[in-house]
Structure 1
């Protein structure tokens, strides 16, 4: 196997092991020793590929975020109109969370928040390919008169803010019914962004 492929395999091995540890033990389980034991990858190799333990966590969170954005973008771009697009993106987010609660917990964790705040511009730049079609979709539906004439970041915040809040509450307190959220949120969000 060529060196680059071995490196990619090592990275995947470490990330798979780290996600398993996170799923079973939370952030406290993400220690260098636990990751080396679970992955079979040496600490030197982990440092080589990730720079630090924080680098492993950041790569894990970014990978989960990338998957979420891919699913949201796909759902949004397949919608026939703006209202069905808002519905599709809300439902795709809730489906992602139910299908991958550990990845969702990581995306919404304090550690991911800290990394996000410290590296927001850099993260947005790395996700540009996923975000640009969403921004273009927003502009196209504003030009057609379906979406409110607000900035794209404000539309994104109004559309996703309630979903993120519901998901965080479901992940932490557990007193939110995601089926109710799927029934109710799309129309309430639509009223805040639609025309």
Structure 2
């Protein structure tokens, strides 16, 4: 990597880190060009050069953290020997992720992320295709073997991730004080029951 490319990559990282800090401190309304460039120590021109717009920066931030979450979920599934233990691994990994990265998780589970996701659903899915493929393949293999009920993939995803995402949103917003360790012990078995053939 040339020195210019290295400086560009460092600027991108600084702006992404700054965007998460600004979002954590001030919420969606705090995301402005001036707050992002001031916090990231970069010029407005750098922001526009690398991301095109504030929305482009926030979309890149969402992709960064969604990618990290998907990588952790995939690694957890790859270590699992059975579909049942895979479901447990997904639930435990997801809940651990939100505890370890609460600011990023609040962004991932925010209405802002929902709006961007709805507006750019295909683009976001295409950008994460390499990370989504192992999860989809894992489900397909277990459906084909008869270990998981023969349901459409979107329905399986909803049965597995729907309860976990709902719990995560409530915990992250402070709407309830769920004991996540207790949830990680109870929830996987309940989800597994919904998937058994």
- Residue of structure 1 equivalent to 2:12: 11
Partner of 2:105: helix, strand, or coil?
helix
TM-score (norm 1): 0.96
1:79 and 2:80 are equivalent in the alignment? yes
Aligned counterparts of 1:122 and 1:158: Cα–Cα separation in 2: 24
Q: Equivalent residues in 2 for 1:1-195 (5 A)?
A: 1-172=2-173, 173-195=175-197
Deviation sequence 1:109-150 (CA, Å, 0-9, x none): 111000101111111111111111111111111122111101
- Unaligned 5+ segments in structure 2 are none
CA RMSD of aligned residues (A): 1.2
Aligned counterparts of 1:104 and 1:132: Cα–Cα separation in 2: 22
The Cα shift of 1:153 comes to 1.7
The Cα shift of 1:102 comes to 0.4
TM-score (norm 2): 0.95
Aligned counterparts of 1:3 and 1:147: Cα–Cα separation in 2: 51
Deviation sequence 1:42-73 (CA, Å, 0-9, x none): 00110111111111111111111110011011
Aligned counterparts of 2:104 and 2:16: Cα–Cα separation in 1: 12
Partner of 2:177: helix, strand, or coil?
coil
Number of equivalent positions: 195
The Cα shift of 1:5 comes to 2.3
Aligned counterparts of 2:98 and 2:75: Cα–Cα separation in 1: 16
Aligned counterparts of 1:180 and 1:168: Cα–Cα separation in 2: 16
Partner of 1:91: helix, strand, or coil?
helix
Structure 1's consecutive aligned runs of 4 or more residues displaced over 3 angstroms after TM superposition are none
